[in-house]
Chain A
Amino acid sequence: MDIITSLLTEHYNATIVFFATALLGLSAGLVGCFLVLRKQALISDAVTHATLPGIGIGFLLSLHFGLNDGKYLPLLLLCSAITAYLGAAAVQFITNKTRLSPDTAIASVMSFFYGLGLLLLSIIQNIDAGNKAGLNSFLLGQVSGLRIDNLILLGAVSIFVVCLVVMNFKNLRLLCFDKNYANLLGLKVKTTENLLLFLMILVICTGLKTVGLIMIIALLIIPAITARLWTQRSELMAALAAFFGALSCIGGVYLSSALYDLPTGSTIVLFAFALFTVSLLIRIIRGADA
């Protein structure tokens, strides 16, 4: 109890940052597990970049409605979720309507939305209103500003994500493994696909402010592929991906604060990749094929 009391009193801010990022890592790892299993890791790239125009639009809208000098977070997140969804839909549309492969569709959609986002942000920098400071944190993340309300939000989102995944585990797994079969059995494939997309957008949008839009991709994918190296069972893989995601965040936050005040988003991703590398080496040494 002493430790907890001292954590809460002496290191109040640090404790919040640790827990908040750990929860984000947990959710991202869990959801990312299914993206990896579905061989759709790249789609997260398109969806994350597609959040950026939403941030700009959200800023302009909240400015227009006089909310919090333009930085009304719920509106920013809602708009980014909407453009993220549009990004995913655009990839789907291009893939369905042309002969282009998904990776081509993703590459073009991603650059379009990112370009549009940067354009909006630059316009916003030039207008003479609102508090624009910190808008760039959506790009690279900023953990130092995390407060108790962020922790509560991330806690709620994590519980929600974990519950949905546990309830739908067998449906999500079947979707990733054998979509045709799920379709044949009439097992609500469309619903499950939308659920996975929803979970991904939820994690990305809540993670934007924390680790930034580039690094959230890594947090979705790297813990999942690390987990895959340790097990042949999907249940265990999901649990391990959540664990590695949380561990990466805790390790990254610790490194960034304890060492040289490095950018946290980067240290989190580097820590996650270090876990992956170590796992891979262990696997190679043990003689199993990776």
Chain B
Amino acid sequence: MSMDNAIAPLSVKNLSCRYARQDNYALRDISFIAKAGTITGVLGPNGAGKSTFLKSILNLLPHEGSVKFFDSTLAKNRQKIAYIPQRSSVDWDFPVSALDVCLMGLYPRIGWLRRISRVHKEEAMHYLEQVKLQDFAHRQIGALSGGQQQRVFMARALAQQAELFLLDEPMAGVDQKTQTLLFDLFSDLKQQGKTMLIIHHNLQAASAHFDHILLLNQTLVAQGTPEQALSEDAISRAYSPIEA
């Protein structure tokens, strides 16, 4: 594939992250490159630092090491990068509708002090349709099911017209219908040359859906194709308690 010569959407070098005001590392020395048009799965046990990894990449947490987006900085590529946070980090009681949230993905294009127009709403509706939520556009987000909530945030990422998607456990607590829909959407996006980094909890599903795997447990235990990274040895090392 000629993709190899293209600029990597994401390249991480020696990334380490310390817990706030503590000496021990949550993550240590992680290096990897996400190639354009690929889906990378981030796997590992609870507390392995998967979310920390994503947040450090996005500079939402202080970290050491270098992170490059499209061979440049985060600041220069903000709109190309979509982030879907863990469901537990969202305030589901907030008085916004599915449409309101989806529209947020358009804010950079709407402009700082401009108001949201009918055209923007129509565009946002189009993205809600892609995740089959057009009938729930005006529902408050807390009144949606877990799967629908996840899809709202996916619609927001689509609205952003991002090139690189970073998703924190998109499949956690969602129904089968949403899982299928999201995985279909991911392969569509991949066809369009978009790049995804997805935190996932299910090792079994990994080989079918991911091109590249990062197996994490506070450090990078293994990476490569699903076959390479998910060897029995690697899994047992990642999931066994780490020595202090």
| A-to-B contact residues, CB < 8 Å | 37, 39, 99, 167-171, 173-174, 176-178, 180-181, 183-188, 228, 231-234, 237
Contact = CB atoms under 8 A, between A and B. Distances in A.
B107 A188 contact: no
B75 A184 contact: no
Contacts of A232: 95, 97, 140, 143
Given A180-B60, A185-B79, A170 B91 contact: no
A178 B95 contact: no
Nearest to B166: A184
B112 A181 contact: no
B95 A185 contact: no
A280 to B, nearest CB: 16
B95 A184 contact: no
A184 B81 contact: yes
Interface in B97-118: 97, 100-101, 103-104, 107-108, 110, 112-113, 115-116
Interface of B: 21, 58, 60, 75, 78-79, 81, 83, 85, 90-91, 94-97, 100-101, 103-104, 107-108, 110, 112-113, 115-116, 140, 143, 160
A188 B143 CA distance: 30
Given A168-B113, A178-B90, 4 more contacts: A170-B115, A173-B96, A177-B104, A232-B143
Contact of A185 (B78, B91, B143): B78
Given A167-B113, A178-B90, A234-B100, A186 B108 contact: yes
Contacts of B90: 178
Nearest to A177: B94
A233 B95 contact: yes
A168 B94 CA distance: 18
Nearest to A237: B95
A84 B124 CA distance: 41
Nearest to B74: A184
B2 to A, nearest CB: 30
Contacts of B143: 232
A185 B107 contact: yes
A37 B95 CA distance: 9
A199 to B, nearest CB: 15
B97 A233 contact: yes
Contacts of A184: 58, 60, 78, 81, 83
Contacts of A183: 60
Contacts of A185: 78-79, 107-108, 160
Contacts of A39: 91
A178 B104 contact: yes
Nearest to B100: A234
Nearest to B60: A180
Given A37-B95, A233-B95, A180 B85 contact: yes
A138 to B, nearest CB: 34
Given A177-B91, A181-B104, A232-B140, A186 B116 contact: no
A177 B96 contact: yes
A186 B75 contact: yes
Contacts of B104: 174, 177-178, 181
